């Protein structure tokens, strides 16, 4: 039995959380016991599913009493592995794991940067935390080269502990609701889908602007958001009103049938400001739906290995994004392009089976 303690903010629906949940499904039957420490003090919406698979969730809120609570948890669980997914703050978690003599201590970088302002205090904190990671980690993992470069070090390749381990994707074959029926539209309009949490870095208002540009050029188009309500919801609503897109922008909430919705969409759009290895891009390619996404390092990393990714600079005009979206729709109309994208993904390194095998070796401390 190998006991692994993962560290997240909360076990809510997100790319890293869902990818780790897939590992629970694959590796729990192989003798890996999964525990999750949540720093927000909340269990998260995935907690019940984790526990149904034999995992355990331990909310320990960050605060003055956190170090004591964390060390008590480590003493009680005596994990073989601590796998921390909280950017450079992983340094503090791995220091505690080293003090508790946990054999395998992993700093896991999931995104390009941490999303915090670049203040003097924040720069100092990053420097200290990176020093702790350098001192305390037995493995330093990034989901893409840029995640390691921006999260850990520009010279990460010189550190023998550092390596890229890509996320795997398991795609459900289950058929969910009929997307066009849910939107109340027929077969003719173009459907653009955005899947992602409602937060500023996902840049959802830009998706509204792109749809407005498409509409201005005579396209019959609808935009559907999957991800629920959140801190950017008022901005998205205001952008929709300004563009006059009432009735053409739809909010489908937080869904568990996202793969089915992606399969039915004409294009998936991801105008994010920051990503690591965007799982939404991988999931869309796995079902054959082309993606128009921000020209970010993680997006380019996927595009080098799988067809169907169309990267556009965030500095490009909405009309440019709209032209790329329209070209994707035309290219995939016959279905051959979608089959090519699915085949390209199946032959890539992003399969769930490969990812689970690599993570199992990682947890055993193998290179």
Same domain assignment for residues 72 and 29: yes
52 found inside a domain: yes
Positions in the chain whose pLDDT score sits under 50: none
**What confidence score (pLDDT) does residue 167 get?**
84
**What confidence score (pLDDT) does residue 138 get?**
98
Same domain assignment for residues 221 and 137: no
173 found inside a domain: no
Same domain assignment for residues 274 and 296: yes
312 found inside a domain: yes
**What confidence score (pLDDT) does residue 262 get?**
96
**What confidence score (pLDDT) does residue 169 get?**
85
Full strand arrangement of the beta sheet holding 309-312: 249-251, 221-226, 190-195, 267-270, 291-294, 309-312
Same domain assignment for residues 319 and 195: yes
Same domain assignment for residues 51 and 85: yes
Same domain assignment for residues 332 and 214: yes
Domain count, the chain: 2
**What confidence score (pLDDT) does residue 84 get?**
98
Same domain assignment for residues 183 and 207: yes
174 found inside a domain: no
Enclosing domain of residue 53: 2-168+351-363
Dihedrals phi, psi of 129, to nearest 5 degrees: -65, -40
pLDDT digits (tens, 9 = 90+) for 148-191: 999 999 999 999 999 999 988 887 777 889 999 999 999 999 99
Full strand arrangement of the beta sheet holding 56-59: 56-59, 32-38, 2-8, 81-84, 104-109, 139-142, 162-164
Same domain assignment for residues 337 and 193: yes
**What confidence score (pLDDT) does residue 233 get?**
96
Same domain assignment for residues 359 and 339: no
Same domain assignment for residues 134 and 201: no
Write the CATH number for 306: 3.40.50.2000
Same domain assignment for residues 218 and 97: no
**What confidence score (pLDDT) does residue 170 get?**
80
138 found inside a domain: yes
């Amino acid at each position: 039995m190998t006991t692994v303690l993962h560290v997240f903010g909360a076990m809510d629906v997100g790319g890293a959380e869902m990818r780790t949940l897939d590992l629970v499904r694959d590796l729990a039957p192989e003798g890996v016991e999964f525990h999750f420490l949540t720093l927000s003090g909340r269990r998260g919406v995935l907690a019940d599913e984790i526990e149904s698979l034999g995992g355990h969730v331990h909310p320990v809120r960050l605060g003055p009493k956190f170090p004591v609570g964390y060390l008590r948890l480590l003493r009680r669980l005596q994990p073989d592995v601590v796998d921390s997914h909280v950017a450079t703050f992983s340094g503090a978690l791995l220091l505690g794991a080293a003090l508790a003599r946990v054999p395998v201590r992993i700093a896991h970088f999931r995104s390009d940067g941490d999303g915090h302002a670049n203040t003097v205090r924040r720069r100092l904190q990053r420097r200290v935390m990176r020093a702790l990671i350098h001192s305390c980690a037995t493995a330093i993992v990034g989901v893409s080269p840029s995640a390691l470069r921006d999260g850990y070090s520009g010279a990460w390749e010189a550190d023998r502990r550092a390596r890229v381990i890509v996320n795997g994707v398991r795609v459900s074959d289950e058929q969910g609701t009929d997307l066009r029926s849910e939107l109340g539209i027929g077969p003719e309009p173009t459907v653009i889908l955005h899947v992602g949490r409602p937060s500023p870095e996902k840049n959802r208002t830009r998706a509204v602007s792109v749809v407005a540009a498409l509409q201005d050029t005579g396209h019959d188009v609808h935009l559907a958001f999957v991800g629920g309500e959140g801190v950017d919801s008022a901005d998205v609503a205001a952008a929709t009103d300004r563009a006059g897109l009432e009735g053409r922008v739809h909010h489908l909430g937080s869904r568990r049938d996202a793969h089915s919705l992606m399969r039915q969409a004409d294009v998936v759009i991801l105008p994010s400001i920051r990503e690591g290895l965007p799982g939404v891009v991988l999931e869309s390619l796995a079902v054959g739906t082309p993606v128009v996404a921000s020209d970010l390092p993680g997006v380019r990393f996927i595009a080098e290995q799988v067809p169907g990714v169309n990267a556009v600079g965030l500095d490009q005009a909405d009309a440019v994004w709209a032209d790329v979206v329209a070209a994707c729709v035309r290219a995939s109309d016959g279905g051959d392009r979608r089959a090519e994208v699915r085949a390209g993904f199946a032959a890539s390194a992003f399969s769930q089976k490969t990812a689970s095998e690599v993570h199992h070796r990682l947890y055993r401390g193998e290179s």
